Structure 1
Amino acid sequence: MVRFKDTATAKVNVNMKSSWINRLGQPVKSSAMSKKHLWRILGGWVISQSILLGTPALANRDSGSMSYTDLLQKIEAGQVIRIQEDPSRQLAKVTFTDEANGQQIRYVALFDHNPELMAALRANPVDYEVRPSADNSVAMGLVVNVLVIVAVLAFLLMILRRSSQSSGNAMNFGKSKARFQMEAKTGILFDDVAGIEEAKEELQEVVTFLKSPEKFTAIGAKIPRGVLLVGPPGTGKTLLAKAVAGEAGVPFFSISGSEFVEMFVGVGASRVRDLFKKAKDNSPCLIFIDEIDAVGRQRGAGIGGGNDEREQTLNQLLTEMDGFEGNPGIIVIAATNRPDVLDTALLRPGRFDRQVIVDLPGYNGRLGILQVHARNKKLADDVSLEAIARRTPGLAGADLANLLNEAAILTARRRKEAITLLEIDDAIDRITIGLALTPLLDSKKKRLIAYHEVGHALLMTLLKNSDPLNKVTIIPRSGGIGGFAQQMFNEDMVDSGLYTRAWLIDQITIALGGRAAEQEVFGEAEVTIGASNDIQMVSNLAREMVTRYGMSDLGLVALESPGEQVFLGRGFPSQSEYSEEVATKIDHQIRAIAFRCYDQACRLIRQHRVLLDQLVEVLLEKETIEGDEFRRLVSEYTPLPEKQMAIILNK
């Protein structure tokens, strides 16, 4: 028998070792999850390494463990049959017999030196074997350390890359943001642009300049420096510039005017210099600046000066286009819908030599635009593009493209195979007036709206200088519109802008027709505010007739001019251009025109009161009457004798 004087000490050591192993087995979440400090990450990797190396021992010990003291006692009792020691893991596999359970296997954690165990084995016959397992601790430690080093290096590289990118952005802050194409592959040619034939002809010369400049230089002609495209929004200015680039096939730079201006002073000028430097290296080339009014506004605009950064950018642009250094082979095409706000130095010859007007298309232009956008649309056989072009005077190319697109959307929603006239009509109304809403129920409000709109429509039909009626409806629209009476305006008059005095007087009378119908039918007390927009239009139109067009008793004098905008560099607002006495006369003339037209509207409504009631009943039933049907109902009406009419009116 082997006696141990320090058995308690051995038990304490074994328990300390067990508790140490248990502490290692706990997950170190706080250290592993922290990413703010590098030393915490390294500590987490070290602890993970220890856990990985100690995991097999812990798993085996948990499956069937025995204390060191119990092992010595069983050896002295002769119950141990075999011991297999694994020195790398400091673990012993013990096979022993138990009277109750028979032969069993347990694992015992050993110390670095086990003299008591060796003495007990020498005193008792036990099959003892040393069987070391593969020691992967060195390899695992090496792998873990390499992973730690790789992670640290990746972290440092990420920081360096971000710093280099930020420094690179700082260095490139003044570089031009223009999109560059060595060969302008815009996919758009002049054949794809319709409705602006005059502008295409002028820009065709620019294409010829770029393709074969020797034809012009041989006789002393100079290539124009710049071309300014001017026109309302949606008329195709940007599309036209793409077509020029596609036809010329030269290097193409495109940029917006707002991309020059930044909050830092000097950046815009630097970008202009960089843009023209790149253009010189690739000349002959084309530069397209969209919305140039963002950078080319008149200098010193507004009270207290303008924007210093924008003005410096404009000065640099003026110098690059026509300064001491020439820019041969570089043509600048700019687009704007506000030529009135541009600086005069920018518009002079030598910078923008040509100003091409891209105006609203006429009938032939609208027809060509509709044909271009109808290529990929399925139209019904009864849909006529000519009729659509006649019904849409004043619409730009973008509006016509949107019209066909809205019609296609309505066709898909209604599950039809092709676009019909109904979808075309609804799309026109949706674009020009608003989205149709749920019809009103039969009520006093619906009847009042019907009388108001029929009053407009009836005067459109009766007045000889008025444009014909297109349709009248009481279906409400978005924006608070309860109904409308729509005219088909004369295309020649709209395109030319030459309106006669008779036409203007009839327009004022028509605008007051709704209010006249309300008063004649429902009385003065039941008149509503539905005519507020009509009265505002009457006031504006009558004032222009008196003060600008010379169509009043005041004579052929222009008493007012279009208002100047002080914040666009036009100076302070001018004082009144006429005396107080003339102002009083202007007010009297405006009131006289409005009252005279209103009296005429009331008289026509009163004379055709029976026809008005019949048309209202038809409109309440159908909710929409087309112009042809409305004119047929008016032509079939037989006026009553004056005595019978007077009896009806007195009732």
Structure 2
Amino acid sequence: MANRSRQQASIRRTAQVAASGLLTTTWFLMQSLVALPPAMAQTEEDDELTYGEFLELIDSGQVDQVDIDPNRGRAEVRLKSDLEEDPPQEVILFQNDGRNPELIQRLREQDVDVEIQPEGGGNNFAWIATNTLVIMLLVFGLLLILRRTANSAGGAMSFGRSRARFQMEAKTGVQFDDVAGIEEAKEELQEVVSFLKNPEKFTAIGAKIPRGVLLVGPPGTGKTLLAKAIAGEAAVPFFSISGSEFVEMFVGVGASRVRDLFKKAKENAPCIVFIDEIDAVGRQRGTGIGGGNDEREQTLNQLLTEMDGFEGNSGVIVIAATNRVDVLDMALLRPGRFDRQVIVDLPSYKGRLEILKVHA
């Protein structure tokens, strides 16, 4: 819990720093937009007139029409020598020069057609729209950060949840007829399938089914396929997980996932819990670094307690597969836990022919 609390505090601090940086950047951006006059925000084009050239053209009588835009601080100039299809030339005016009576009088003396656009036009609207867009982006960014923070906190709290694949109706698509070459193993597991199909018939006479079945054999002999066939034949809820998925770098996460897995299994009993490659979590205790109590040993201790502890798990059959039975902890193999070992050996000549018939 202490590690989880520290991790949540670290996530909150990271989100606060990111939000603060976003606020600061947006604030400086808004200040620059506010402080920047609209006239200075425009870039100077290469083909526009200078103010001095504009005055010389007025005095020489070459100007035909001038459209002054006080909002932009610019004027569009048409010369008498320009054709109708020629675009007007632009000139940057000095501040407040669009309303300068001397400039207007100078244009009137040369019989220049002068038009002055009203102030507060479309440029101010564009400036307001830009600032509104910046504010909306700021709010959206803050909401996105808060949402990610909430998801991160929820993910930290869900570390201890089981990652087992669950099927309410085990539609694995594999039956005993699809498994060949291991007839002895199938015969030993018929009892498990019968119990899962009709548990009342066994409990009525006081019979007990093994709580755990360990499939032992070399790699590639069909242990996982046999577990799928058991689930397909029994048609009961089926939980499937790998032994390595219990182990994490955070202490206590693996034990929490074991508790969550068996809690769900008991709610859906009778059911099958299949743990593939159980040697990843079920190795002998006391062989870690310095012989200490590491995360893997805590996970194994919780698994031993769930399989045969104070609380019974009637109706939950744990099937595990491994090819390293020699490294498993002795407490995991005692009666009451994995008290039945089914050897899945290499197929014989006859078994290989049966396998060929299944695939052909």
Partner of 1:178: 164
Partner of 1:67: 51
Partner of 2:133: 147
Q: Which of 187, 193, 214 does residue 228 from structure 1 map onto?
A: 214
Partner of 1:167: 153
In structure 2, the CA distance between the partners of 1:78 and 1:138, relative to structure 1 (3 Å rule), is: closer
Q: Which of 334, 346, 349 does residue 360 from structure 1 map onto?
A: 346
Measure how far apart 1:288 and its partner are: 0.6
In structure 2, the CA distance between the partners of 1:132 and 1:68, relative to structure 1 (3 Å rule), is: farther
Q: In the comparison of the two structures, how many residue pairs are matched?
A: 335
Measure how far apart 1:366 and its partner are: 1.5
Partner of 2:5: none
Partner of 2:68: 85
Determine which structure has greater relative contact order: mean sequence separation of CA pairs < 8 Å that are 6+ residues apart, divided by chain length: 2
In structure 2, the CA distance between the partners of 1:290 and 1:65, relative to structure 1 (3 Å rule), is: same
Distance in 1, Cα, partners of 2:33 & 2:289: 70
Q: Is the 8 A contact 1:53 1:140 kept in 2?
A: no
Map 1:201-600 → 2, pairs under 5 A: 201-301=187-287, 305=291, 307-373=293-359, 375=360
Unaligned runs of 5+ in 1: 1-35, 376-651
Measure how far apart 1:365 and its partner are: 1.0
RMSD (CA atoms): 3.6
Q: Is the 8 A contact 1:268 1:313 kept in 2?
A: yes
Give the letter aligned to residue 358 of structure 2: V
Partner of 2:178: 192
Q: Percent identity?
A: 65
Distance in 2, Cα, partners of 1:106 & 1:237: 85
Distance in 2, Cα, partners of 1:112 & 1:303: 83
Give the letter aligned to residue 252 of structure 1: F
Measure how far apart 1:74 and its partner are: 5.6
Distance in 2, Cα, partners of 1:318 & 1:303: 22
Q: Is the 8 A contact 2:258 2:303 kept in 1?
A: yes
CA deviation map 1:209-263 (0-9, x unaligned): 1111111122221232111112222211111011111111111111122222334
Distance in 1, Cα, partners of 2:250 & 2:69: 73
Partner of 1:113: 99
Q: Is the 8 A contact 1:229 1:336 kept in 2?
A: yes
Measure how far apart 1:94 and its partner are: 4.2
> Does the alignment pair 1:157 with 2:140?
no
Q: Is the 8 A contact 2:176 2:229 kept in 1?
A: yes
Measure how far apart 1:316 and its partner are: 1.7
Measure how far apart 1:331 and its partner are: 0.6
CA deviation map 1:73-112 (0-9, x unaligned): 66566555444434444444445557xx999965444415
CA deviation map 1:520-551 (0-9, x unaligned): xxxxxxxxxxxxxxxxxxxxxxxxxxxxxxxx
Q: Is the 8 A contact 2:243 2:279 kept in 1?
A: yes
Measure how far apart 1:64 and its partner are: 4.5
In structure 2, the CA distance between the partners of 1:52 and 1:289, relative to structure 1 (3 Å rule), is: farther
In structure 2, the CA distance between the partners of 1:130 and 1:174, relative to structure 1 (3 Å rule), is: closer
Measure how far apart 1:303 and its partner are: 10
In structure 2, the CA distance between the partners of 1:370 and 1:49, relative to structure 1 (3 Å rule), is: farther
Give me the TM-score of the superposition, normalised by structure 2.
0.79
Unaligned runs of 5+ in 2: 1-20
SS of the aligned residue for 1:151 comes to helix
Give the letter aligned to residue 67 of structure 1: Y
Give the letter aligned to residue 214 of structure 1: E
Partner of 1:32: none
CA deviation map 1:572-617 (0-9, x unaligned): xxxxxxxxxxxxxxxxxxxxxxxxxxxxxxxxxxxxxxxxxxxxxx
Give the letter aligned to residue 284 of structure 1: P
Give the letter aligned to residue 171 of structure 1: M
**Which of the pair has more CA radius of gyration?**
1
